[in-house]
Structure 1
């Protein structure tokens, strides 16, 4: 994976902060996501369960941009957790939604643990030519926020 910038760290931390808004549930992770334009302007945000308990963070953010005719090829999607590739509650995964939106760059803090599904979001996005960056030192905050499903105590 390629290196990241201080702006990438800032926006990934912002996604982690958004994830704190997600209602705790034993059936899903608390995730936050932002789509940021090439000039560093946030275009849309979302968190798991924002409008529906079954909607993922990336899905929430991308839905706010749908139908607006925006070219997202230069935008970056920042997410606290690896975009899903398997969904039990919805027909389309977040990875598929990202690909369909035309986003070419994704930055995340933590790969999805093997708790709900075997996720291959990073590999799938890379196989489609997207730049994917993991800022793994921010992953501990994501684990703490999701201790309710990961079976961990918060620090």
Structure 2
């Protein structure tokens, strides 16, 4: 199962709206004869790859897979039928698939055909691997990660607004990898105006993640690197109050627009989930970061802390006003083990 989980992780950020799945196939003697992982939506599933690699040696063998085999016709045929037809004797599953189209149906179909099914092996690791997929199914929203870089004194910019570069090259390289594992990267209009960001993985992922601008009134610059659609796709989400002229200008540039009835972080994550996004990255300014946190649109935080004392006003902090008046109101996040990125410290948190 550890090997199957490793295989599944190879496609991190590339399978949406599907989950990450890895499979290992052992013959009657316990010898590995096939393995595979789901690389992208529409491409063969992990079980199909392992079965194809094993061929006739699959008969009487054991399939170890990180997620319950599907039992419905989607873009690919049902894996449960393929497993049964291959003569597999035993299937070891990390966790059931909560997708309503499966939800135990694959396990039931295998058992009805006389296949022994063992479930729950490596379940905690499998749930962590597919946390974003599971969150989208349960909540109807994409899982949100909020990332920022700051000095050790909590500042994200100097008093004059200068902010490039606070973090080290190693930390920026890590961020590019994080973007590659996300389906979309989100900023607000203020970040577009101030930083003119590119928001790509710098080639770590093909295609690049969707670049999203959340702007209630479409107060956006005429020239911006985000408008170059050859680099990566860009979506601008806005509210009903956005003026027609600003909408027309985006249409003229060939930038996709999304009208949100309620221009909020939560509404945006619902819309992105409906587009098949499992996981998104917030790389926004303090005001939008606070709004995303208050709206329940952030499940994880990635804070890069550089060994710099920058000084300046409290306004240059990563999160704006959240309205707390007593420390008892402030939620506590679960901390992961901090790690070094060059000279910087990466501190990752997740909500409890």
Verify same fold: TM over 0.5. Answer: yes
Aligned length: 137
Q: Which of residues 80, 90, 106 is equivalent to 1:121?
A: 106
Render the CA deviation track for 1:89-138: whole Å, top value 9, x for unaligned. 12x200011011111111111011136x234111100000111111x252
Shift of 1:79: 0.2
Of structures 1 and 2, the larger Rg is shown by 2
Query: Which residue in 1 is equivalent to 2:6?
Result: 17
Q: Is the 8 A contact 2:61 2:88 kept in 1?
A: yes
Q: Which of residues 138, 142, 145 is equivalent to 2:129?
A: 145
Query: Which residue in 2 is equivalent to 1:37?
Result: 27
SS at match of 1:63: helix
TM (normalized to structure 1)?
A: 0.78
Render the CA deviation track for 1:1-48: whole Å, top value 9, x for unaligned. xxxxxxxxxxx2221121111242321110000111222211010001
- 1:125-136 correspondence to structure 2 within 5 Å: 125-134=110-119, 136=120
Shift of 1:71: 4.6
Render the CA deviation track for 1:53-106: whole Å, top value 9, x for unaligned. 52211011112234xxx253321000010110013212x200011011111111
Separation of aligned partners in 2, 1:19 and 1:61: 12
Q: Which of residues 89, 93, 101 is equivalent to 1:104?
A: 89
Query: Which residue in 2 is equivalent to 1:65?
Result: 54
Query: Which residue in 2 is equivalent to 1:3?
Result: none
SS at match of 1:17: helix
The CA RMSD measured in Å over matched residues stands at 2.1
SS at match of 1:143: helix
Q: Is the 8 A contact 2:67 2:93 kept in 1?
A: yes
TM (normalized to structure 2)?
A: 0.36
Q: Point out 4+ residue stretches in structure 1 off by more than 6 angstroms.
A: none
Counterparts in 2 of 1:137 and 1:74: CA distance versus 1, 3 Å? closer
Counterparts in 2 of 1:137 and 1:78: CA distance versus 1, 3 Å? closer
Q: Is the 8 A contact 1:71 1:102 kept in 2?
A: no
SS at match of 2:10: coil
SS at match of 1:126: helix
Q: Is the 8 A contact 1:33 1:61 kept in 2?
A: yes
SS at match of 2:94: strand
Indicate the structure with greater strand content: 2
